Structure 1
Amino acid sequence: MKNIISKATDAQGGQSSQPAEDSIDKSLLKDDLYKAVNGRWEKTAEIPADHSSTGGFMDLNDNIDKQLMKDLDDIIKENKHYDAPFSEFLKLYELARNFKKRDADGADPLKPYLEKIESITNFDDLNQALPELVKEGHPLPFGFWVEPDMKNTKVNALFAAVPGLFLPDRTYYEKNNPAYKQLMPVFTKMASQLLVLADYSSNEADEIVESAKRFDAKIAPNVKSAEESADYSKMYNPQKFAYFSESSSHVDFMNLADTLFGKAPEQIIVTEPKFYERFDGLVNSDTFTDMKNWMLVNMVRSASGYLSEEFRQTGSVFSRALSGKKEATPQKKSAFYLAEGTFGQTIGDYYAKKYFGPKAKADVEHMVRSMIAVYKNRLSNNDWLSKATREKAILKLNKLELQVGYPDHIDELEYKFKVTPEDEGGTLFENMSRFGAISIQDTLEKLGKPVDRTKWEMSAATVNAYYEPFKNIIVFPAAILQAPFYSLKQTSSQNYGGIGAVIAHEISHAFDNNGSLFDELGNLNNWWTKEDHDHFSKLADKMIKEFDGIPYAGGKVNGKLTVSENIADGGGLSCANEAAKNEKDYNLYDFFINWAKVWRMKATEQYKQLLLNIDVHAPAELRANVQVKNLDDFYSTFDVKPGDGMYMRPEDRVKIW
């Protein structure tokens, strides 16, 4: 799934937050568009202590969070009756906010889960406990998940998952990477402190963590990096389940699958074959103790946010070090995030119905149709695609589905979450654990069943958008449909420079290096001729080269990691630019200024470095600056000439779609 990134209530268009003309440093427009538009703001902007960044997407999210929390305060004071699942959302929110109860409970809710892991002394014990461990969501060095079969997306298939690492990416473990020496000691100290909070002695905790780190280090070379994971073409590796089950001499995969599904499926899709080819060397009698301790560390770490304030503060130390946040999220906001994360569609439904209107929806749908028409015209007149490939591309565009605002109904899963309140002996951790088990069971039960193509993967209260290649669908939640992305009070050119470019970005994902692998139904299916694909690959290589190696935050941009998002940005901006010119009131100055505005971001150095290593998107500043250089209209709009900082030679400009 491709997002525009990896919340403001005026979805229908309140105050436009366009930069005032006097905040734009026009002397910089020819040399650095991003700095010209955002430089003065950046000098005075302050990153909140509980944030790693501010500006753009983050500010909109903060505004929505504040509004929703204010609404919830009023709702709780009114003490009115609400139907499920909103009533259950309110119960969970109140339970999460009760830190007095959470502090009194301490580690007690967690201890039975740790004891269950401790009681496993050999592989016989593990195999007997595995079905329950999987259903309860215990951390394991492997996993199953169910989602659409990439070659038959009408039906849900079984996939083999790989475990996560203690550090964010495999590359952190490579020799001479200074990040390991900086970050692993922070993780080590945090993990030991969490275990002490769970009533292990200091010596026991240190021994468990060192043992767990040995297992983590053993896994690391055998899993994909973020760059490798970004290549969808390497994901689809179907195997007979009987063959897959032979990956381990110690873990009984066949019995596990028989227990979970009634009978093991004929096939499993393995996204990382190398990991399972080496599984026997990773999970065996020699590594058993280290594996068990790795499970303990992951268990206490994943539980920390649902326990006492001391657990919550301690459990966030590593993520704060990674991102540069000075403080943990405030208690009330953390409780809101927890409840929202569980009842995402429920709170999204509330937000959208209160703050999103039909006029905005109709206007945005008009923009989408306009963008699709531009794309269709470009595909029809494309001079490097063969007729057969061109027709298939247009068919895919014609079959592209659109979802705007919010889904027609809340996911049935959220109706299954029933909160056991404090006065009935419920704890936050026990409720969240039960909900996790319900979610896992719901997912497992989908195996072999038809795919629900109407399901939203994102809350309507999320400032983001996405393209789903498995469904050939683009989704624009209500929350992103506000200034500076969109407002009825902005000019059409401002809106095209904001939400228009986002819309066209998501359409472009259907034809990026990953999206182009999928047909009009979302199936992995090569619909290109070899000659067309070779030509496209050369164009993609030009986009890789355009970004690869650009200095940023003490490192360099990885052009391969970010190529699909850069192709989508390039196609999206170009398409939105043409659509803006088709409107009567078009003004390309407004268009480009707002494009730079939406990528406004001030971030900690740590967060910039983290994104540089793992994010499939280029840094926000470069998304604003580099892509405009590929458009001829940018040069005429700002009179950019050779010698100016924003100038790029015509032969170096990348134009794919």
Structure 2
Amino acid sequence: MNLLQANATTGGQSDQPTDDSIDKSLLKDDLYKAVNGRWEKTAKIPAYHSSTGGFMDLNDNIDKQLMSDLDDIIKKNQPHEAPFSEFLKLYELARNYKKRDADGGEPLKPYLEKIENITNFDDLNKLLPELVKEGYPLPFGFWVEPDMKNTQVNALFASVPGLFLPDRTYYENNNPAYKQLMPVFTKMASQLLVLADYSSNEADEIVESAKRFDAKIAPNVKSAEESADYSKMYNPQKFAYFSESSSHLDFVNLADALFGKAPDQIIVTEPKFYERFDGLVNSDSFKDMKNWMLVNMVRSASSYLSEEFRQTGSVFSRALSGKKEATPQKKSAFYLAEGTFGQTIGDYYAKKYFGPKAKADVEHMVKNMINVYKNRLSNNTWLGKDTREKAILKLDKLELQVGYPDHIDELEYKFKVTPENEGGTLFDNMSKFGAITVQDTFEKLGKPVDRTKWEMSAATVNAYYEPFKNIIVFPAAILQAPFYSLKQTSSQNYGGIGAVIAHEISHAFDNNGSLFDELGNLNNWWTKEDHDHFSKLADKMINEFDGIPYAGGKVNGKLTVSENIADGGGLSCANEAAKNEDDYNLYDFFINWAKVWRMKATEQYKQLLLNIDVHAPAELRANVQVKNLDDFYSTFDVKDGDGMYLKPEDRVKIW
């Protein structure tokens, strides 16, 4: 449950809006436009982005700083310890587009040939363990994660394959987005296959066949709205029973080969898919499935091959998001290396740019916010005594991680780059690292969960709550203006990082997080009466957002409810904490809250987020939640008839 859809260093120059940049005439009618409207008129979206604004700009500035640092480090050519030394090697390989262009599609061909040579299910079953270990696209998935009802131990999960389009809803009810986007996907996939030395006719036939299989899968997987309910993911089955899902794939033999012995149990995230698996994967669909594998293989490989592959392979995502250009070569190479060595580069960034004073200040804010939350829970009037005590216990057990982890994940030490002078290609190295990651994950089955592991690089402008561990994490990169700065007032900081902190705490008590106990186990600690009351309040939050017109569509209140509950609780608690400081100024607080959500995006990207993102549109996050707070009305003298006015009985207050 992270904060996002997805500059100065910490403590650096504050980038607050000046009075001139705020249109005070709009404050009572549209807070977001009042704070960000003038910025929006002149802001330009880079051609290789689908948006610009607070989060994106901060990430761009960090990328720019790190890439500049790396240029200096490479120029000095001094020895470095692993895994940073391996990160540098991979970055060099990724930046060597001359070598990548010379290799063309050759590194990919053995992988495509392996798929081509599978002629029946006997062939497939013999190869299946190898294909899973090497990360080949398959019409099912195995993964290892904490058992949701015993999060101290890792369990085996069965997941479902992705679709060519972003969500099942694109395939339904003659959705015009399907007619617009599928031809773009079709053309791109055919061009990629031609680059891999298929004839134009062969490529077209493969893609049409693959699309038949994709269309067959689509009705049987969850939509984004359905997937937003975490509790529905937990469907444990005896592995022997699960294996009967297919009369063509030997799941027992596969699990024996992967884990030494098939586990007794597997957790099935989408039972409906596996109930219908035999009807999807069978002799009649075998050819279509194989071609689906080919298309997915060439798509996933395109960013690791030549520039022509990279440009072609990004056509569909650019159409989906409204980007005019592919990511510049150097930045693309950096993203690729950073994506593999995320904790390594995060460790470098945090240790160089993150100060102990900022960490101590933020930890102080977190403690203040927890105290506000605890006080609210203690004085809650609609929770029963037993539920209230359990909620306070969960808050007491909440763990905090700020800045960067104590150690880099051991996995990144396992990545050893085969350089160009030893015959290494970027694609071969990335394939090898993918296999190492799969093996590392599978080895965790049945073993204790590492509760110290971070799921995000310290160089990422984001934050998250992990319901399976009851942990909140604030990477170093988000601890900078406008979210946080030692040069901002305390109220500005509470309107930025304070609201983020409280947002993540609130996730422990949203419609998903509330289903997990103090250890992160899926465990109903509510009385029926209390949970029914909470559900009615959650319904009010659903209704507050549901159907709001945006980007030619309407907001889905059910899809966004958990993030909206977290925003509502976060803003309200941060508001109270700001008022507990001696220098509080609620004008500063609300202005900075609106500023952190500034975003200018392409229409395509807005529409994409509207369909699949569990967060409400940024503009609405800024505007709707403040209407629920009485202090907003007194701060800006908002009255009945003003655009920002909401009747007291319609204001949603959960936490």
Where on the TM-score scale, by shorter chain, does this alignment land: which range?
A: over 0.9
Paired with 2:340 and 2:231, the residues of 1 have a C-alpha distance of 32
Q: Alignment partner of 1:110: what SS?
A: helix
> Is the 8 Å Cα contact of residues 403 and 476 (structure 1) preserved in structure 2?
yes
Q: Call closer, same or farther: CA 1:9–1:478 in 2, change over 3 Å.
A: farther
> Is the 8 Å Cα contact of residues 26 and 36 (structure 1) preserved in structure 2?
yes
Q: Alignment partner of 2:484: what SS?
A: coil
Q: Call closer, same or farther: CA 1:80–1:34 in 2, change over 3 Å.
A: same
Paired with 2:28 and 2:619, the residues of 1 have a C-alpha distance of 15
Q: Alignment partner of 2:406: what SS?
A: coil
> Is the 8 Å Cα contact of residues 472 and 520 (structure 1) preserved in structure 2?
yes
> Is the 8 Å Cα contact of residues 467 and 513 (structure 2) preserved in structure 1?
yes
> Is the 8 Å Cα contact of residues 376 and 394 (structure 1) preserved in structure 2?
yes
Cα deviation, 1:416-475, whole Å, max 9, x if unaligned, reads 000000011100000000000000000000000000000000000000000000000000
Give the C-alpha shift of residue 14 in structure 1: 0.8
Question: Does 1:212 find its partner at 2:221?
Answer: no
Q: Alignment partner of 1:157: what SS?
A: strand
Cα deviation, 1:623-657, whole Å, max 9, x if unaligned, reads 00000000000000000000000000000000000
Cα deviation, 1:187-208, whole Å, max 9, x if unaligned, reads 0000000000000000000000
Give the C-alpha shift of residue 98 in structure 1: 0.2
Give the C-alpha shift of residue 316 in structure 1: 0.0
> Is the 8 Å Cα contact of residues 10 and 481 (structure 2) preserved in structure 1?
no
> Is the 8 Å Cα contact of residues 577 and 591 (structure 1) preserved in structure 2?
yes
Q: Alignment partner of 1:457: what SS?
A: coil
> Is the 8 Å Cα contact of residues 548 and 558 (structure 1) preserved in structure 2?
yes
Paired with 1:204 and 1:234, the residues of 2 have a C-alpha distance of 41
Paired residue for 1:388, among 386, 389, 393?
386
Paired with 2:286 and 2:79, the residues of 1 have a C-alpha distance of 52
1:43 matched residue in structure 2: 41
Paired with 1:454 and 1:12, the residues of 2 have a C-alpha distance of 24
- The TM-score normalised by the length of structure 2 is 0.99
> Is the 8 Å Cα contact of residues 12 and 359 (structure 1) preserved in structure 2?
no
Give the C-alpha shift of residue 12 in structure 1: 2.9
Cα deviation, 1:260-279, whole Å, max 9, x if unaligned, reads 00000000000100000000
Q: Call closer, same or farther: CA 1:199–1:8 in 2, change over 3 Å.
A: closer
Paired with 1:465 and 1:447, the residues of 2 have a C-alpha distance of 27
> Is the 8 Å Cα contact of residues 509 and 564 (structure 1) preserved in structure 2?
yes
> Is the 8 Å Cα contact of residues 8 and 63 (structure 1) preserved in structure 2?
no
Cα deviation, 1:357-391, whole Å, max 9, x if unaligned, reads 10000000000000000000000000000000000
Cα deviation, 1:393-424, whole Å, max 9, x if unaligned, reads 00000000000000000000000000000011
Q: Alignment partner of 2:391: what SS?
A: helix
> Is the 8 Å Cα contact of residues 463 and 504 (structure 2) preserved in structure 1?
yes
Paired residue for 2:561, among 547, 560, 563?
563
> Is the 8 Å Cα contact of residues 145 and 156 (structure 2) preserved in structure 1?
yes
Q: Alignment partner of 1:403: what SS?
A: strand
Q: Alignment partner of 1:404: what SS?
A: strand
1:260 matched residue in structure 2: 258
Paired with 2:282 and 2:269, the residues of 1 have a C-alpha distance of 22
Paired with 2:49 and 2:381, the residues of 1 have a C-alpha distance of 47
Paired with 1:27 and 1:9, the residues of 2 have a C-alpha distance of 29
> Is the 8 Å Cα contact of residues 630 and 655 (structure 1) preserved in structure 2?
yes
- The TM-score normalised by the length of structure 1 is 0.99
Give the C-alpha shift of residue 304 in structure 1: 0.0
Q: Alignment partner of 1:641: what SS?
A: coil
Paired residue for 2:324, among 319, 323, 326?
326
2:641 matched residue in structure 1: 643
Q: Alignment partner of 2:472: what SS?
A: strand
Cα deviation, 1:152-183, whole Å, max 9, x if unaligned, reads 00000000010000000000000221000000
Give the C-alpha shift of residue 109 in structure 1: 0.2
Paired with 2:8 and 2:151, the residues of 1 have a C-alpha distance of 37
Paired residue for 1:345, among 343, 346, 352?
343
> Is the 8 Å Cα contact of residues 6 and 462 (structure 2) preserved in structure 1?
no
> Is the 8 Å Cα contact of residues 387 and 525 (structure 2) preserved in structure 1?
yes
Paired with 1:165 and 1:459, the residues of 2 have a C-alpha distance of 27
The number of residue pairs the alignment matches comes to: 654
Paired with 1:484 and 1:245, the residues of 2 have a C-alpha distance of 52
> Is the 8 Å Cα contact of residues 373 and 573 (structure 2) preserved in structure 1?
yes
Please, what is the CA RMSD of the aligned residues?
1.0
Paired with 2:188 and 2:553, the residues of 1 have a C-alpha distance of 27
Paired with 2:437 and 2:651, the residues of 1 have a C-alpha distance of 47
> Is the 8 Å Cα contact of residues 11 and 478 (structure 1) preserved in structure 2?
no
Give the C-alpha shift of residue 9 in structure 1: 5.8
Paired with 1:63 and 1:260, the residues of 2 have a C-alpha distance of 43
2:68 matched residue in structure 1: 70
Question: Does 1:623 find its partner at 2:621?
Answer: yes
1:436 matched residue in structure 2: 434
Cα deviation, 1:452-510, whole Å, max 9, x if unaligned, reads 00000000000000000000000000000000000000000000000000000000000
Cα deviation, 1:556-602, whole Å, max 9, x if unaligned, reads 00000000000000000000000000000000000000000000000
Paired with 2:309 and 2:410, the residues of 1 have a C-alpha distance of 32
Give the C-alpha shift of residue 8 in structure 1: 16
Give the C-alpha shift of residue 331 in structure 1: 0.2
> Is the 8 Å Cα contact of residues 54 and 598 (structure 2) preserved in structure 1?
yes
Cα deviation, 1:186-232, whole Å, max 9, x if unaligned, reads 00000000000000000000000000000000000000000000001
Give the C-alpha shift of residue 10 in structure 1: 3.8
Paired with 1:539 and 1:12, the residues of 2 have a C-alpha distance of 38
Paired with 1:590 and 1:450, the residues of 2 have a C-alpha distance of 46
Paired with 2:587 and 2:163, the residues of 1 have a C-alpha distance of 46
> Is the 8 Å Cα contact of residues 30 and 640 (structure 1) preserved in structure 2?
yes
Give the 5 Å matches for 1:183-222: 183-222=181-220
> Is the 8 Å Cα contact of residues 464 and 472 (structure 2) preserved in structure 1?
yes
Q: Alignment partner of 1:536: what SS?
A: helix
Cα deviation, 1:23-72, whole Å, max 9, x if unaligned, reads 00000000000000000000000000000000010000000000000000
1:470 matched residue in structure 2: 468
Paired residue for 1:149, among 138, 144, 147?
147
Paired with 2:488 and 2:618, the residues of 1 have a C-alpha distance of 22
Paired residue for 1:111, among 109, 119, 131?
109
Cα deviation, 1:72-131, whole Å, max 9, x if unaligned, reads 000000111100000000000000000000000001000000000000000000000000
Give the 5 Å matches for 1:583-598: 583-598=581-596
Give the C-alpha shift of residue 233 in structure 1: 1.7
> Is the 8 Å Cα contact of residues 11 and 357 (structure 1) preserved in structure 2?
no
Q: Alignment partner of 2:106: what SS?
A: coil
Q: Call closer, same or farther: CA 1:271–1:374 in 2, change over 3 Å.
A: same
Give the C-alpha shift of residue 13 in structure 1: 1.1
Q: Alignment partner of 1:109: what SS?
A: helix
Give the C-alpha shift of residue 11 in structure 1: 3.9
Paired with 1:4 and 1:233, the residues of 2 have a C-alpha distance of 20
